């Protein structure tokens, strides 16, 4: 530790100035000589085949270079497996421009390449496309009876303990309810784009909007039969993603396809409308049955989740297990099912599985609290679990009780009148609701490089991405702290597939994964530095073991307060101008503990009784996430996630016109997200939590935990305000008025 530690202090983003001044360049902002522009043409039907594409009029436009379709595209991999990637679900991944089959509306079917983007877009409108249309099915509700349990992904999504049906029948207090969510789309600020730079020797450098440059490079190598060292994917700046960029999107292979065919640089950028043809948070139906004793103790917990997926992949994430991590119950029946539709595959969206599953679980718990006439917070404490009942493991740390206490105290929960419709502020009904939050505290294998210069400079590098959570700053802070140099001495390199390998950025595991690798790399540099320091004539560190010294303020010093040697003197003695080390870190797969983050969310809503207008006026969220390296940036993550939770609860939905199998909503005018007027008081509390087992840094991720449970807390507050239980998200004015 340095004499003046920077970890745990609110530090501003080191990349902030580049972003606010426009110096940061995004995927579609890299201009290169002789750059051509591609515009994607997408399918107007949901299912069938392309009978013919007449390209004559488009090719006749001055400035058009080429039109690529399934009929004339360059060679691509034939095997579906070649199109897979690190986060692909089970099944056969979609292959853009591969053949004449149409699997979903908005499917890319042609790429028009021209000298200017406006020319490409105009020429694309001149393509004449004939289809042979087939009957499609996009109505989730109608296909509900065809739901099936999918076990082909190797995950155990379902779970049974005891005799849930009998326990429910015998329970004196019962709740049975069904909850629904509509499809949601990510809508990050930056649209997907790829600039494929033709290097002249067959190599291609791609600037892509992605959460995983290594994942994309390997995907491209497989699709085009190229060597990994013939490709380089860069994404140093990403304008938001929320999970939409975990998998390679189709602009990436299309840009590379065109660049290889034309032997020149090509950029492909999607429109906002085309963004709605990508992955999405799947709509779902959840049925829950809870039985309890009169004191609120759970005796039965049944949860059936039905989600949607495509015809060609089976996308699902853990949705029903969370109750067994939060609450003690001997009798459970948890099952997940899927319905296949003629749509593109869903994909991960912030806190996938947890966000959806915990919404229904926490609303059902709220309903149980009213049925048992027990305070909602007290009900959760009565059923508090110290073990993960799915894995039968204790938690490495779980400060959820303290989260409940601190958040309830800050919110003023003790002043709540428990009777619905009992609290008012002028003409508005006031409602208070709460919920629990939980998310996995994961770590994946990752690598990092540390380079110490003789002048005290430190470079930290890893191929990870920064989609907005502050990864640049995290890497710099860790490097400065662990190496013992000022923060201003540290430079960070990331977002480059040529750097030490790292997984996609997602799942709230980047800090634990890459951070642990940084710690290992810095430790390796320190060991070399100590060795050269000890070789100097008359070195005061002779005989000192690594455990006997600390690295702080640019010096190696004995912990007992004895002698010290500056980094510069040590490197001068070793005749070195730099020490460079690369290291990897992996999770402890044999851990006897379960690893999770937890939170307690309390929300206040005010509702105009005549108009039904809902305002979320206050949210307090207390989070236990291990060691918080930077409360400013971590707090920003929770704030943003809470805003996403408000959107989930009140605004966001993508509706489908089943006559055409097409999303009706495909722009930001119709897809509603929270704006400044929708966001009022939000307070974030980080609860102290020490976890020496989870990883060397004791950290857990915070990217997802802020959204988990937020929609449930708001829905529960709406019931408390109105006495009306709306179980379908989003909770809009019309639903409240007619409930």
The answer to whether 708 touches 439, Cβ cutoff 8 Å, is: yes
Judge if the upstream peptide bond of residue 730 is cis by omega within 30 degrees of 0: yes
Instruction: Please give the structure tokens belonging to residue 474.
Output: 């995290």
The length of the chain, given as a count of residues: 739
Q: What is the dihedral of CA 228, 232, 237, 238, to 10 degrees?
A: -50
Rounded CA separation 91/699 (Å): 34
Rounded CA separation 450/579 (Å): 8
Instruction: Please give the structure tokens belonging to residue 276.
Output: 């709605």
Burial class from Cβ neighbours inside 10 Å (0-12, 13-18, 19+) for residue 184 reads: buried
Q: Where are the beta strands (DSSP E) in 517-649?
A: 549-552, 555-558, 564-566, 578-585, 596-608, 614-624
The answer to whether 251 touches 40, Cβ cutoff 8 Å, is: yes
Residue 594 DSSP symbol:
B
Angstrom CA distances, 300 to 332, 334, 375, 382, 435, stand at 6, 11, 19, 14, 20
Active site residue 704: yes
State the SS3 of 64-103: EEEEECCCCCCCCCCCHHHHCCCCCCEECCCCCCCCCEEC
Phi, psi of 326 (to 5 degrees): -100, -40
State the SS3 of 379-398: HHHHCECCEECCCCEEECCC
491: Cα separation from own chain's centroid: 26
Instruction: Please give the structure tokens belonging to residue 654.
Output: 């993508």
Task: List, by residue number, the catalytic residues.
Answer: 704
């Amino acid at each position: 530790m340095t004499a003046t530690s920077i970890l745990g202090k609110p530090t501003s983003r080191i990349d902030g100035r580049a972003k606010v001044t426009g110096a940061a360049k995004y995927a579609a902002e890299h201009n290169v000589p002789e750059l051509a522009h591609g515009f994607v043409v997408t399918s107007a039907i949901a299912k069938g085949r392309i009978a013919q594409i007449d390209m004559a009029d488009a090719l006749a436009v001055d400035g058009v270079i080429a039109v690529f379709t399934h009929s004339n595209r360059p060679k691509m991999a034939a095997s579906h497996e070649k199109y897979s990637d690190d986060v692909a679900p089970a099944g056969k991944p979609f292959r853009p421009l591969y053949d004449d089959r149409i699997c979903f509306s908005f499917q890319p079917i042609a790429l028009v390449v021209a000298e200017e983007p406006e020319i490409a877009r105009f020429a694309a409108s001149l393509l004449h496309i004939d289809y042979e249309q087939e009957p499609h099915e996009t109505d989730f509700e109608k296909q509900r009876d065809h739901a099936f349990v999918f076990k082909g992904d190797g995950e155990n999504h379902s779970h049974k303990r005891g005799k849930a049906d009998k326990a429910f029948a015998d329970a004196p207090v019962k709740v049975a309810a069904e909850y629904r969510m509509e499809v949601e789309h990510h809508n990050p600020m930056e649209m997907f784009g790829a600039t494929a730079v033709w290097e002249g020797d067959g190599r291609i450098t791609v600037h892509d909007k992605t959460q995983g440059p290594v994942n994309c490079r390997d995907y491209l190598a497989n699709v085009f039969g190229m060597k990994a060292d013939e490709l380089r994917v860069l994404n140093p700046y990403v304008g938001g993603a929320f999970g939409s960029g975990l998998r390679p999107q189709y602009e990436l292979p299309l840009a590379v396809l065109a660049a290889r065919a034309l032997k020149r640089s090509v950029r492909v950028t999607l429109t906002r409308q085309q963004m709605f043809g990508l992955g999405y948070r799947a709509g779902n139906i959840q049925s829950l049955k809870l039985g309890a004793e009169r004191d609120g103790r759970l005796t039965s917990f049944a949860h059936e989740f039905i989600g949607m997926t495509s015809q060609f992949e089976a996308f699902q994430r853990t949705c029903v297990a969370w109750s067994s991590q939060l609450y003690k119950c001997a009798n459970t029946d948890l099952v997940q099912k899927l319905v296949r539709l003629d749509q593109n595959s869903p994909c991960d969206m912030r806190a996938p599985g947890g966000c959806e599953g915990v919404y229904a679980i926490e609303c059902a718990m709220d309903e149980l609290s009213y049925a048992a006439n027990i305070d909602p917070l007290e009900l959760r404490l009565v059923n508090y679990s110290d073990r993960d009942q799915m894995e039968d493991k204790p938690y490495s740390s779980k400060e959820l009780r303290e989260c409940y206490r601190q958040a309830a105290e800050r919110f003023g929960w003790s002043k709540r009148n428990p009777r619905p419709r009992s609290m008012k502020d002028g003409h508005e009904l006031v409602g208070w609701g709460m919920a629990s939050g939980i998310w996995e505290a994961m770590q994946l294998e990752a690598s990092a490089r540390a380079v110490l210069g003789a002048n005290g400079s430190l470079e930290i590098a890893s191929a990870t991405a920064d989609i907005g959570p502050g990864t640049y700053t995290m890497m710099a802070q860790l490097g400065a702290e662990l190496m013992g140099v000022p923060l201003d001495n540290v430079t960070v390199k990331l977002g480059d597939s040529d750097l030490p390998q790292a997984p996609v950025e997602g799942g709230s595991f980047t800090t634990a994964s890459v951070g642990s690798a940084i710690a290992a790399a810095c430790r390796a540099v320190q060991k070399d530095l100590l060795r050269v320091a000890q070789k100097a004539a008359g070195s005061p560190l002779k005989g000192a073991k690594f455990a006997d010294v600390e690295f702080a303020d640019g010096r190696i010093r004995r912990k007992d307060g004895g002698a010290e040697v500056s980094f510069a003197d040590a490197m001068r003695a070793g005749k070195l101008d730099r020490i460079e080390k690369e290291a990897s870190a992996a999770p402890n797969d044999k851990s006897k503990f379960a690893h999770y983050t937890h939170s307690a969310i309390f929300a206040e809503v005010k509702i105009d009784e005549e108009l039904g207008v809902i305002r979320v006026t206050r949210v307090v969220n207390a989070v236990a996430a291990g060691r918080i390296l930077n409360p400013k940036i971590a707090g920003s993550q929770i704030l943003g996630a809470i805003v996403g939770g408000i959107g989930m609860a009140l605004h966001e939905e993508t509706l489908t016109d089943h006559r055409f199998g097409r999303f009706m909503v495909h722009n930001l005018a119709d897809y509603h997200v929270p704006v400044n007027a929708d966001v009022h008081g939000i307070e974030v509390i980080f609860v102290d939590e020490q976890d020496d087992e989870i990883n060397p840094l004791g950290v857990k991720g915070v990217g997802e935990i802020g959204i988990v449970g937020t929609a449930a807390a708001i829905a529960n507050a709406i019931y408390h305000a109105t006495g009306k239980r709306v179980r379908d998200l989003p909770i809009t004015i019309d639903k409240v008025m007619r409930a």
